[in-house]
Structure 1
Amino acid sequence: MNRGTLALLALAAAGAIAAGGYWMGQRSNAGATAPHGAAATAASATAPRKLLYYRNPMGLPDTSATPKTDPMGMAYVPVYEGQDDGGNAPTNRVTLNTDKVQKLGVRTEAAGVKALDKVVRAVGRIEPDERRTYTIAPKFEGYVERLHVNATGQAIGKGQALFEVYSPDLVTAQREYVIAQQGVQSLEAGGSDAQSGMKQLAAAGLQRLKNWDISDEQLRLLEHGGAPRRTLTFRSPVSGIVTEKKAVQGMRFMPGDMLYQITDLSTVWVLADVFEQDIGAVRLHAKATVTLDAYPGRAFDGDISYIYPTLKAETRTATVRVELSNAGQLLKPGMFARVELAVPAASRAVTIPLSAVIDSGTRRMVLVQIKAGQFEPREVRLGMRSDTYVEVLDGVREGELVVVAANFLIDAESNLKAAVSGFGHAGQ
């Protein structure tokens, strides 16, 4: 090697030795200071936080001092000191900024005290008034000689002739009564005992004819010496409609056979089927409004006259009877009817809109606005309902603001935050 090369090698060796010494010195210095920094970091990582309680993972107002799970199997979320605005605000509240409240379209309404009138709606059918239905059934054996009314559905008036009958028993009874009447007259100058016996016989004959529904007009004719008639005319006891006719000219009938059925339709019934949950609110003599498809835009007013004591197991409904006047014969038996039953409020109560209630099936909740952008879910106990409002028995006080629009969105966001928080703690 020449002299220049040896000089370069010596210079390089000296630089390497110097660099190694510097590196060893830095390492020893780092080793001396590292324990202090690591200890500080470890101390800060292992410093225990103060556990306050465990809260419901779904944001419900339910806390626990010990770990547990909800009915769905989700673990309760631990809450530490300094968490959730320093631990001053309840953890079940939902906080939204003003922009998000406006974007969601959140609207609130104050709970107020009012009389809650309710309308129970039901469906029903027109039926004839059972108390205005009459059956024509002779009480003796005979034959139909002539029909004066021979069509079902025919309108008739009170006292109108229906049919004429011939009966050997009836002719015999008339003859016996006429003979007894003649005997009474012939014994007027005779002894009192004979006359008394003949009068009793005549009275018995007259009563027998009355029991057979012989008209007073025909009886008067017999009393004044009229001859027994071969046929007897049956007349309608009421004005109405022939709803059933079994009489045929020339037919033979037996005692008790129904020949005509006449129904007075000046008043009809509406039998409405009311659901089981509404029957407790229905009261006797309350007003009812009936509408029918046959007369759109027209309503018929009536009163609740009877609430049937039994419930239909198949439909879980009870029958309510409404009486309607039917002077114009517009209401026909068998028509389908829609019924609205008025239920007056018993007293004034705290009410909220129905739209404010979040019903999960097992519990009912509302969101109460504590302040701008902060909402608190509360479980409520509800009472009577109307079409738009519901009575609050417990959970909300008068004047408190409840969310009536976008409450489902707030509830969904609250549940999402609670679920994410629960998963985070589970991961830790």
Structure 2
Amino acid sequence: MAGGVTFLAGSFALIYGLSDLPDRGRPSKVTGYTLAGITGGLWLVGGILWGVYGKRLDKLETAVLGFGGRGRVRLQTAAPSCCRAAPVSASAWRSSESGVRPMTRQRITRALRCRALRCLALSMGLALGTGCKSSQPVEVASVTQQPPTGPLGSSEDGLHFLPAASRPYVEIQPVAMEPEHAAIKAPARVAFRDGALSRVGAPIPGRVVKLHVEVGEKVKVGDPLVTIASPEASSFHMELARARIEVETAKDQLERQNQMAKQGVGREYERVAAQHRLAETQASLQHAQKAVSLLGKSSGGTVVVEAAIEGMVLRRFATVGAQVEPGGDPLIEIGNPNALWVVAEVFQDDLALVHDSSKVTLEFAALPEPVEGHVEGIGVLIDTGLRRAPVYVAIDGEAPGVTPGMFARAKIQTPSTTGVTVPRTAVLIKEGKISVVYVEEREGVFSRREVATGHTFGEYVQILSGVKPGERIAVSGALLIDGTAQRIL
């Protein structure tokens, strides 16, 4: 019973203490939490009383009810120490001559309950006393509201406030249309123009007997490069000689038939046959002459391979004694170093911004200064693997030190004049699709602007609308201003 009453009293104190209603004069939150702690103590006292005295009382009652024919009860093992007594005989229960009242079941129960009620009254008095002292309303000091300047991303009326400690990490710059930023960057390489490179091969099967040039040597058109010994070349020359003899024979026969016809002794069909024979032999002679001319400079069984263009010997693949044949590996490679251009590999999405005669700046790792040029042609065939197309750039003026095979970085200027260009780090993405920038209104205060982006030029992006030239925006560290942005453009 004591534990149950204690539980009810503690619950009342908990409900009374946690009801924080300052406008009705109830205790504050601090007082309520204090009462909650006292209530927990009451629950503990109730549990102790219920567990200790209740358990021992049950044992005592069991012992008293079990009083039997032996005439004595051992109370010292069942009752608490305050209620223990020596063994009492049966006759003592029925007589009062000694003047001492025996320990009955009713007396023991009454004594235990009195002790429990005293503890309960003391606990309830403490709880009610504390509650009464805290019944007066607690006045709360007024606080002046200040603009939020501490947490990252704090905002008020559309403005974002940046803490002073974070300002050194945010870079602010005015926006403008910078021509050098609106440029397409692409990898490039120096190559020979079409027709400025010649790979000389063998015109006929044979064997190399002599090499006339060395790598790096300058040659002109018609200079000998390689001498080849070939049996087929001898056959071509023999066919040419035979064709010439047959032509002479056919001419003599036709002349003889013409004279006989004048004298009246010749036949007409023999004269016509001689004419046909001459035409046939002349055709054979022309064929043999063309075959020999394809060999180049040749005589007998040797063929001399000559240079077809003016330039420099870039590579020499043939060696003396090597067996060669038409369609095989080239013998000599010649290139004209004065006929060069730069081939830039431009991504397919950027081709629409490239036009003929567009200015190009070429940067070479081996040269201290960039080289200027212009677009001379745009390729239409896109590499399916790289998704790029060649753009041919002509070098303006002299470019000492530029040699075929060098790599370069090409910056192709575009005709974009609308909007402004800003670094890509200045643009944040909100809600997965909205592009925003943060414009500085005053020191430490920014406003969010939705912008429409255009083409991306490497590390810079074109903004078509949303900001005006001259406005100052956060170009780096914008995530410190708005921590809710999902990602950077």
Q: CA deviation at 1:158?
A: 0.6
Tell me how far apart the structure 2 counterparts of residues 158 and 259 of structure 1 sit (CA, whole Å): 16
Tell me how far apart the structure 1 counterparts of residues 366 and 393 of structure 2 sit (CA, whole Å): 19
Cα–Cα, structure 1 residues 184 and 39, in superposed 2: closer, same or farther, change >3 Å? closer
**Structure 2 partner of 1:120:** 184
Tell me how far apart the structure 1 counterparts of residues 282 and 218 of structure 2 sit (CA, whole Å): 39
**Structure 2 partner of 1:320:** 390
Q: CA deviation at 1:188?
A: 5.7
**Structure 2 partner of 1:162:** 225
Candidates 246, 263, 266, aligned match of 2:338: 266
AA partner of residue 351 (structure 1): V
Tell me how far apart the structure 2 counterparts of residues 40 and 270 of structure 1 sit (CA, whole Å): 82
- Structure scoring higher RCO (CA < 8 A, sep ≥ 6) equals 1
Q: State the TM-score, normalized to the length of structure 2.
A: 0.51
Q: CA deviation digits over 1:400-422, x for unaligned, max 9?
A: x743358747x635659x9xxxx
Cα–Cα, structure 1 residues 135 and 406, in superposed 2: closer, same or farther, change >3 Å? closer
Candidates 192, 205, 229, aligned match of 2:285: 205
1:376 aligns with 2:447: yes
AA partner of residue 236 (structure 2): L
Percent identity for Structure 1 against Structure 2: 18
**Structure 1 partner of 2:480:** 412
Cα–Cα, structure 1 residues 387 and 147, in superposed 2: closer, same or farther, change >3 Å? closer
Q: CA deviation digits over 1:129-183, x for unaligned, max 9?
A: 454333433443344444333x334321111122334433223222223323433
Q: Is the 8 A contact 2:357 2:376 kept in 1?
A: yes
Q: CA deviation at 1:269?
A: 4.0
Cα–Cα, structure 1 residues 253 and 182, in superposed 2: closer, same or farther, change >3 Å? farther
Tell me how far apart the structure 2 counterparts of residues 135 and 407 of structure 1 sit (CA, whole Å): 54
Q: Is the 8 A contact 1:355 1:405 kept in 2?
A: no
Cα–Cα, structure 1 residues 113 and 161, in superposed 2: closer, same or farther, change >3 Å? closer
**Structure 1 partner of 2:86:** none
1:349 aligns with 2:418: yes
Q: State the TM-score, normalized to the length of structure 1.
A: 0.57
Instruction: State the secondary structure of the residue aligned to 1:383.
Output: strand
Candidates 180, 185, 198, aligned match of 2:246: 180
Tell me how far apart the structure 1 counterparts of residues 451 and 26 of structure 2 sit (CA, whole Å): 45
Structure 1 unmatched runs, 5+: 1-37, 46-82, 219-227, 419-428
1:41 aligns with 2:23: yes
Tell me how far apart the structure 1 counterparts of residues 319 and 170 of structure 2 sit (CA, whole Å): 76
AA partner of residue 215 (structure 2): T
1:333 aligns with 2:404: yes
Structure 2 unmatched runs, 5+: 1-19, 28-144, 148-154, 257-270
Tell me how far apart the structure 2 counterparts of residues 335 and 114 of structure 1 sit (CA, whole Å): 29
> Which of the pair is proportionally richer in helix?
2
Q: Is the 8 A contact 1:161 1:235 kept in 2?
A: yes
AA partner of residue 41 (structure 1): D
1:290 aligns with 2:362: yes
Aligned length: 321
Tell me how far apart the structure 2 counterparts of residues 323 and 39 of structure 1 sit (CA, whole Å): 81
Greater C-alpha radius of gyration? 2
**Structure 2 partner of 1:423:** none
Tell me how far apart the structure 2 counterparts of residues 270 and 193 of structure 1 sit (CA, whole Å): 64
> Which of the pair is proportionally richer in strand?
1
Q: CA deviation at 1:210?
A: 1.8
AA partner of residue 359 (structure 1): L
**Structure 2 partner of 1:132:** 196
